[in-house]
Structure 1
Amino acid sequence: MSERRVDVVVVNWNSGDCLRACIDSLAGPTGRGQVGDVVVVDNASTDGSAEGLPNWVKLVANPGNIGFAAACNQGADHCASDYLLFLNPDTVVSDDTIQRAAAFLDSRENLVYGICGALAVNRDGSPGLCASRFPTLTNVMAGVLRLDRVVRRWARHLPPEALRRGGPVDQVIGAFFVIRRALFGRLGGFDERYFLYYEEVDLSKRAKLLGFGSYLIVDATFEHIGNVSAKRSGDLALYHSLRSRSLYAFQHWPAWQAYLLIFFTLAVDLPARLLRAVVAKELGDLPRLVRASNSYLRFVLGLDRSAGTS
C-alpha cells in the first residue's frame, strides 16, 4: 500500500482566510506524509478565497454554485487513493489526525467500519460537535422544542461527555469525514439532491444499510470554527437546512412521519423561530426568517424545486 493513501476534498464558498489556514494544516510533515492529492472545489466564490493556493493543490473552479454534495462528488472524481477525506474549509487539522484515521481504517479489525471521524475542538479548546444520532421524528421535534436538554436520549447530537472514549456512532459530522473510496463509489457518492446539509447524514445512513458503520476516533483532533460560509448566505442556510431535513425524512422515514415533519416545521418550528427573535429583540433576523419560511413553503408546495444559492 502506498504511503500517501488519503486524498482530501475541500469544497469552498466564500470562506475567507479560513481556507488558507485549512490548506496550511495539511502541509505539515506528518500531514503531507499521509495525504495524496488535495482537491479544492470552489463554488464560484466572490471573496478571492480560492486564489493563490499552493501549486500542490488541485483547484476546480465552478462558474456557479452547484451545491455542496455535487461539488464533493466532483472533487472525488479527481481522487484515486484508498480513502477520501471530505474536509470543511473552516477546519485546521492536527499533525497526526489524518495518519490516525488511515491507521484505523487500515486495521483488519475495523473492516466493518466504512467511515470515521475525529474529535472536533472549538477555538477556545472546548469539545465541539462531531457525532450525532440519525435524525428521527422524535429527536428532531425534541430539538425544536428544546426537550432534548431535559431528556438526553431525545438529543440528536451527542454531548461532549458521551464522546470521551470514542467508538461506533450513527454518523460523524461532514467537517472531517473519512470514507473508504470503494464504499463511496459503491454508494454512488453523495446524493446531489442535498444542495447543502444532511448529505453526509444520508450517506452514512446508506452505508449503514449496507453493513458499514461509522466510528469516532477521539485521539485524533481538528479545530472547527463552524458555519463560516453559512453566515454569509443569509436566509438560504436556514432554508436549505429545512429543505434537506425534509428530503431526508421522505427518503428514510415512513411517509406519514415525513408529512408530519412538514406540518410540524410549518406550524411549530418556523413560528417558534420568529417568536424567539421577537422575544430576544433580534428584529434584524425577522426578514431573514420570513424569507426562509416563504422559500420553504414554496418548496413544500412544489412551486420552487430549484436548490441553487446563486
Structure 2
Amino acid sequence: MGRGAGAAMVVVSYGSAALVEQNFAGWDAAEHGIDVIIVDCFSSDAEAARVASVCERHGWTPLLLDENLGFGGGVNRGADLAFARGADVLLVVNPDATLDAGAARALVEAAAAEDALVAPTIRKPDGSLWSEGSDMYLDDGSIAGVRHRASHAGRPRLFWLTGACFAISRALWRRVGGYADDYFLYWEDVDLSDRIREAGGALRVLDDVAAVHDEGGTHDQAHSARAKSEIYYYYNIRNRLLFARLRLDPTAQRRWRRTALRVSWGIVLQGGRRQLLTSIAPWRALARGLRDGRRGVRGPRSGS
C-alpha cells in the first residue's frame, strides 16, 4: 500500500531480518490495509541488504539507516516516513512480537478514535501474561506489573505502556514529539507514557486484544536461558537515572541516586545469581550503568 494509507506499521530491526520475515511474513499491506515499514538500524551492509530483500519479497517499505539510532530513534524515523506517506495512525510492533490482522485493526481503530496511546494485552508464547501495563514507583524508580499493586499500596506510581506493541494517532504523536532520543534502548516508553499523560492524553490497554511477545528474540542470551544481555542491564540501569534527570524534580533525583545501587542490583538479579559467577558482563554493566546514569550520559555510549 502506498501513499494515503490510513495506518502504518513500523518494525525496527537491528540484525533481525530473519526474525522480521518469520514473524510478519503473512502481512500483506494491501490485504490488511496497513502500510508496513521496516526500519533497519544499521549493523552491517550485509544485514541492510537482507532487510531490503525481505521487504522486496513481501511488498514492504524498507528504511535503511546509515547508523544505529536505537529503538526510539528508529521508531521516530519510521514514524516520519509513515506520516509523510499519509498515515493517520502509527502501529509499532517489536520484531519479536506478533499479532493478527484483527488485533492490529482493533488497535488502529481505537487509536484513531481516542486521544490515547493504545496497547494490547501482551502474552508470552506459552500463553502466560507478559504485560498489561506496568507501574513505575516514583519513590525509587523500581518497576512492577500492575498485578502487584496490592503489595505496593501507598507508594506513588506512574502507569506506563511498553513499546513492544502499541498504536497512536499522528496528532498525539506529534503533540508529544515522539520518543526522546536520549535513551537509545529501554525507558523511552516510560518517558513517552509520562509525556503523553502530561500532554492530556490517555494510556489504554485493550483487554480483549492480544499480541504475543517472544522476549529475548533480538538479544544474545548466551550465558543461560535466564540471564539477560549486558545491553539490557546497562541501559536499564543508566536510563533509570537518566529518566530522573530529565523528568523529575531535584529532590526526587537525589532520592533516586541514593537508591541507585539497590535498584540496579535488583535489575541484574533478574538474570539470576549463576551468571555472576560465570561472566564479567553483568558486573561491567552495573558499574558502567551507574557511572553513566549519574553523569547524565545520553545517547548510545556504553561507557567503554
Give the structure-1-normalised TM-score: 0.78
**1:235 has 2:230 as partner:** yes
Contact preservation (8 Å) 2:183, 2:299:
no
What is residue 257 of structure 2 aligned with on the other side? Answer: 262
The one-letter code matched in structure 2 to 1:9 is V
Deviations 1:108-163 (Å, cap 9, x if unpaired)? xxx3x3210111121112222131234422561x75xxxx5971547999xxxxxx
- Pair 1:193 & 2:188 matched: no
Superposed CA RMSD in Å reads 3.3
Q: 3-state DSSP class of the match of 1:17?
A: helix
What's the % identity of the aligned pairs?
23
Q: Which residue of 2 aligns with 1:247?
A: 242
Distance 2:265 2:109 in 1: 47
Partner of 1:73: 76
The CA deviation at 1:57 is 1.5
Q: Could you tell me which residue of structure 2 aligns to residue 7 of structure 1? A: 8
Q: What are the residue-to-residue correspondences of 1:214-233 with 2, within 5 Å?
A: 214-231=203-220
1:25·1:93 contact (CA, 8 Å) conserved in 2? no
Indicate the SS of the match to 1:54: helix
Deviations 1:46-100 (A, max 9, x none): 5846353132212122233221111111111111211001110001112301111
Q: Secondary structure at the match of 1:133?
A: strand
Name the SS of the counterpart of 2:38 in structure 1.
strand
Q: Could you list the per-position Cα deviations for residues 238-290 of structure 1 after superposition, in whole angstroms to 9, with x for gaps in the alignment?
A: 11111221122223323222222123122x2345567898x843345541122
Maintained 8 Å contact 1:117/1:177:
yes
- Shift, 1:194, TM fit: 1.3
CA contact (8 A) 2:39 2:74 kept: yes
Cα pair distance change 1:254/1:28, threshold 3 Å: same
**1:33 aligned onto 2:36:** no
Q: Quick check: 2:276–2:283 contact (8 Å CA) kept in 1?
A: no
**Residue in 2 that maps onto 1:164:** none
CA contact (8 A) 1:274 1:286 kept: no
Q: 2: CA distance between counterparts of 1:261 and 1:14?
A: 34
SS of the equivalent of 2:220 reads helix
**Measured at CA, do residues 150 and 115 of structure 1 come closer, stay the same or move farther in structure 2, by a change above 3 Å?**
closer
Give the 5 Å matches for 1:154-233.
Answer: 170-231=159-220
Letter in 1 for 2:236: S
- Aligned partner of 1:86 in structure 2 is 92
- Do 2:233 and 2:285's aligned partners in 1 also have CA atoms closer than 8 Å? yes
2:274 is matched with 281
Q: What are the ranges of 5 or more consecutive residues in structure 2 without an aligned counterpart? A: 222-227
Match of residue 123 from structure 1: 125
**3-state secondary structure, aligned to 2:11:** strand
Q: 1:22 touches 1:90 (CA, 8 Å); kept in 2?
A: yes
Shift, 1:196, TM fit: 0.6
TM-score (norm 2): 0.80
Which residue is equivalent to 2:109? 103
Letter matched to residue 88 of structure 1: N
Structure 1 residues 190, 270: CA separation in 2 closer, same or farther (over 3 Å shift)?
Answer: closer
The residue number in structure 2 matching 1:44 is: 42
Distance of 1:89 and 1:72 partners within structure 2 = 12
Moved over 6 A (4+): 154-157, 273-277
Q: Which residue of 2 aligns with 1:58?
A: 61
Q: CA deviation at 1:222?
A: 1.3
For these two proteins, the number of residue pairs brought into alignment is: 284
Q: Match for 2:41: what amino acid?
A: N
From the superposition, tell whether residues 265 and 231 of structure 1 become closer, same or farther in structure 2 (CA, over 3 Å). Answer: farther
CA distance in 2, matches of 1:210, 1:120: 25
CA 102–303 in structure 1, closer or farther in 2 if over 3 Å, else same: closer
